[in-house]
């Protein structure tokens, strides 16, 4: 485990840093100053923040110091700086959602997920840039590996903040592929947990059955720590409590191999040859691991329609939830105007049919994955395209639509040295089993422990 001495977040995981706090080898202000320095040297260049105030961060660090000086125990995320996507309500910063229509809006409260993080000891480092209303229109934030490439939408600033190690963790959201795609294009660890694990109160809503909250971390070993800090927990949530605390659901029986499914998906042929080859070589490597069994599978009938189903549900919801904003077209991007106009033309019955098909496919995927510890697929079709080019269809939204937990691992680099990822997917609510498989693969050298490649800056 890395040393707790504060250099930067590339070198020390949150687990290591909290151990340093417990031993008194590290102070909360050291951590805050690391964010401020990293913002100065890299974060400002790539424009990760929509709201950042060093004094607000230092004030939180002093509160953490006073708490520790009073002899109170170190909490799971004590003094850990977390970047927050600018669609979450926060007390300290405006919530502008990437739109001039909401410039200066101050909600006066924290989203429930932000409250949970603070309760676990975290500091809100600042607000990160996002696409307009977390949809498609890119913010003025740059891919840290190539400023001319797409950094991924819409959790853009959060992914770039972790890729640059400005913060060790950042909140994001995913309605299609908005955590997985930026993670893949920026070469970091991204997680979209099981649908419903992280509360959405105080967060911009775009759809009812697709919006999911997740996060990025610099170090793979922090995935479980981050989820447990932000999710709902306790016996007030009986179904989630019983499944997430059930050893039979979250651990592999002693002596049994990890059973991993490989799904090419209907998007496979859209990926360039180098991406397909990288995935096949990685799957072959997993197959050679003594403790892993890999099985190639076919997905349930209808999964090839996921993109069409998603489009109907998503666009119909956007047309409904942004009716008022649509009246101010001069301050709405052309792409958002087009989406809303298109969504208004989707019949109600088409929307209801889409919801029914979503529920059916989610149940079928849950049944299929009950027989596996995880399934693997590409995160994106390959490296990030140029900023002005629309991303090629990929599998990310398929697992969003079927409510599955996903980890996007920075597994690959392409022919130009840019990153792209592999998705590891599990049965709904088997999030910690998924993290245990990630830990195993990192320990075996099958996946990197941190960002890949590390940003040169």
Cα(34)–Cα(165) distance, rounded to whole angstroms?
Answer: 10
Task: Write down the pLDDT at residue 5.
Answer: 54
- Judge contact between 329 and 363, C-beta under 8 A: no
- 233 in a domain, yes or no? yes
Q: Is the pLDDT of residue 262 over 50?
A: yes
**Mean pLDDT computed over 382-407:** 96
- 424 in a domain, yes or no? yes
**Mean pLDDT computed over 329-354:** 96
Q: In what order do the strands lie in the sheet with 189-192?
A: 49-51, 123-128, 81-85, 169-174, 212-217, 189-192, 406-413, 419-425, 374-378, 258-262, 292-296
- 311 in a domain, yes or no? no
Q: Which two tokens stand for residue 72?
A: 């109170």
Task: Write down the pLDDT at residue 329.
Answer: 85
Q: Is 178 a catalytic residue?
A: yes
Cα(335)–Cα(341) distance, rounded to whole angstroms?
Answer: 10
- 176 in a domain, yes or no? yes
Pick from 78, 74, 67: which is nearest to 31 by CA?
Answer: 78
Q: Is 154 a catalytic residue?
A: yes
Task: Write down the pLDDT at residue 253.
Answer: 86
> DSSP string spanning 229-254?
HHS--STTSHHHHHHHT-HHHHSPPT
Cα(303)–Cα(350) distance, rounded to whole angstroms?
Answer: 17
Question: Which residue in the list 50, 99, 178, 377 is annotated as catalytic?
Answer: 178
Q: Is the pLDDT of residue 317 over 90?
A: yes
Predicted confidence band of residue 6 (pLDDT cuts 50, 70, 90):
low
pTM for this predicted structure: 0.97
Cα(385)–Cα(409) distance, rounded to whole angstroms?
Answer: 19
Q: Is the pLDDT of residue 81 over 50?
A: yes
**Mean pLDDT computed over 403-423:** 98
Q: Is the pLDDT of residue 427 over 50?
A: yes
Q: Is the pLDDT of residue 333 over 50?
A: yes
Question: Which residue in the list 12, 85, 99, 155 is annotated as catalytic?
Answer: 85
Cα(146)–Cα(386) distance, rounded to whole angstroms?
Answer: 9
Cα(282)–Cα(412) distance, rounded to whole angstroms?
Answer: 9
**Mean pLDDT computed over 367-385:** 98
- 215 in a domain, yes or no? yes
- 329 in a domain, yes or no? no
Measured CA distances, 150 to 96, 258, 423, 454 (Å): 22, 35, 19, 17
Q: What does the mean pLDDT of the chain come to?
A: 96
- Judge contact between 110 and 69, C-beta under 8 A: no
- Judge contact between 106 and 150, C-beta under 8 A: no
Task: Write down the pLDDT at residue 3.
Answer: 38
**Mean pLDDT computed over 50-77:** 98
Residues 6+ apart with CB under 8 A from 214: 171, 172, 173, 174, 179, 190, 191, 192, 193, 198
Cα(213)–Cα(193) distance, rounded to whole angstroms?
Answer: 7
Cα(425)–Cα(195) distance, rounded to whole angstroms?
Answer: 13
Residues 6+ apart with CB under 8 A from 320: 343
Task: Write down the pLDDT at residue 241.
Answer: 86
- Judge contact between 32 and 57, C-beta under 8 A: yes
**Mean pLDDT computed over 232-257:** 90
Question: Which residue in the list 13, 50, 99, 154 is annotated as catalytic?
Answer: 154
**Mean pLDDT computed over 223-249:** 92
Encode pLDDT of 176-223 as tens digits: 999 999 999 999 999 999 999 999 999 999 999 999 999 999 999 999
Min mean pLDDT across 159-168, 234-243, 331-340, 397-406 is at: 234-243
* Ramachandran sector of residue 366 (left: φ over 0; alpha: ψ -120 to 50; beta: rest): alpha
Q: Is the pLDDT of residue 143 over 70?
A: yes
- Judge contact between 426 and 376, C-beta under 8 A: no
Encode pLDDT of 214-226 as tens digits: 999 999 999 999 9
Task: Write down the pLDDT at residue 1.
Answer: 40
Cα(422)–Cα(437) distance, rounded to whole angstroms?
Answer: 14
Residue % of the chain over a pLDDT of 90: 93
> DSSP string spanning 283-350?
HHHHHHSTTEEEEE-PPPTTGGGHHHHHHHHHHHHHHHHTHHHHT-GGGS-HHHHHHHHHHHTS-HHH
**Mean pLDDT computed over 121-133:** 98
Q: Is 99 a catalytic residue?
A: no
Encode pLDDT of 93-104 as tens digits: 999 999 999 999
Task: Write down the pLDDT at residue 224.
Answer: 98
* Total count of domains within the chain: 1
- 315 in a domain, yes or no? no
Q: Which two tokens stand for residue 56?
A: 């607000």
Question: The domain that contains 227 carries what CATH number?
Answer: 3.90.1300.10
* Residue 2 β-bridge partners: none
C-alpha R_g of the chain: 21
- 235 in a domain, yes or no? yes
Predicted confidence band of residue 4 (pLDDT cuts 50, 70, 90):
very low
- Could you list the residue range(s) of the whole structural domain that residue 294 is in? 14-301+357-443
Predicted confidence band of residue 248 (pLDDT cuts 50, 70, 90):
confident
Task: Write down the pLDDT at residue 85.
Answer: 98
**C-beta neighbour count of 137 within 10 angstroms:** 19
């Amino acid at each position: 485990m890395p040393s707790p001495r504060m250099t930067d977040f590339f070198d020390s995981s949150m687990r290591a840093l909290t151990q340093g706090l417990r031993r008194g080898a590290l102070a909360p202000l050291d951590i805050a100053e690391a964010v401020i320095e990293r913002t100065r040297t890299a974060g400002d260049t790539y424009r990760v923040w929509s709201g950042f105030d060093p004094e607000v961060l230092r004030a939180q660090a002093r509160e953490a110091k006073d708490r520790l000086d009073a002899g109170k125990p170190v909490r799971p995320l004590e003094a850990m700086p977390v970047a927050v996507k600018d669609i979450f309500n926060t007390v300290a910063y405006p919530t502008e959602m990437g739109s001039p229509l909401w410039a200066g809006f101050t909600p006066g409260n924290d989203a429930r997920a932000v409250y949970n993080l603070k309760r676990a000891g975290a500091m809100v480092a600042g607000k990160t840039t996002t696409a307009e209303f977390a949809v498609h229109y890119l913010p003025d934030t740059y891919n840290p590996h190539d400023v001319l490439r797409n950094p991924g939408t819409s959790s853009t600033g959060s992914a770039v903040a972790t890729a640059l190690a400005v913060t060790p963790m950042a909140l994001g959201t995913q309605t299609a592929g908005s955590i997985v795609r930026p993670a893949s294009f920026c070469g970091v660890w991204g997680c979209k947990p099981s649908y419903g694990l992280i509360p959405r109160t105080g967060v911009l809503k775009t759809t009812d059955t697709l919006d999911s909250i997740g996060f990025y971390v610099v170090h793979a070993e922090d995935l479980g720590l981050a989820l447990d800090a932000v999710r709902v927990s306790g016996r007030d949530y009986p179904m989630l409590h019983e499944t997430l605390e059930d050893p039979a659901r979250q651990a592999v029986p002693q002596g049994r191999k990890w059973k991993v499914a490989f799904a090419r998906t209907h998007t496979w042929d859209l990926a360039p040859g180098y991406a397909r080859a990288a995935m096949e070589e990685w799957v072959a490597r997993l197959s050679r691991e003594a403790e892993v069994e890999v099985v190639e599978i076919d997905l349930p009938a209808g999964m090839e329609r996921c993109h069409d189903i998603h489009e109907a549900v998503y666009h119909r919801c956007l047309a409904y939830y942004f009716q008022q904003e649509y009246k101010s077209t001069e301050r709405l991007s052309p792409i958002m105007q087009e989406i809303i106009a298109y969504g208004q033309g989707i019949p109600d019955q088409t929307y209801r049919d889409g919801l029914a098909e979503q529920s059916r496919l989610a149940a079928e995927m849950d049944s299929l994955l009950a027989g596996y510890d995880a399934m693997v697929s590409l995160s994106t079709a390959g490296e990030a395209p140029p900023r002005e080019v629309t991303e090629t269809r990929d599998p990310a939204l398929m697992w969003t639509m079927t409510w599955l937990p996903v980890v996007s691992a920075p597994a690959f680099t392409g022919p130009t040295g840019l990153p792209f990822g592999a998705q590891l997917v599990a049965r709904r609510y088997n999030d910690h089993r998924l993290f245990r498989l990630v830990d195993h693969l990192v320990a075996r050298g099958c996946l990197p422990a941190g960002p890949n490649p590390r940003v040169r800056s």
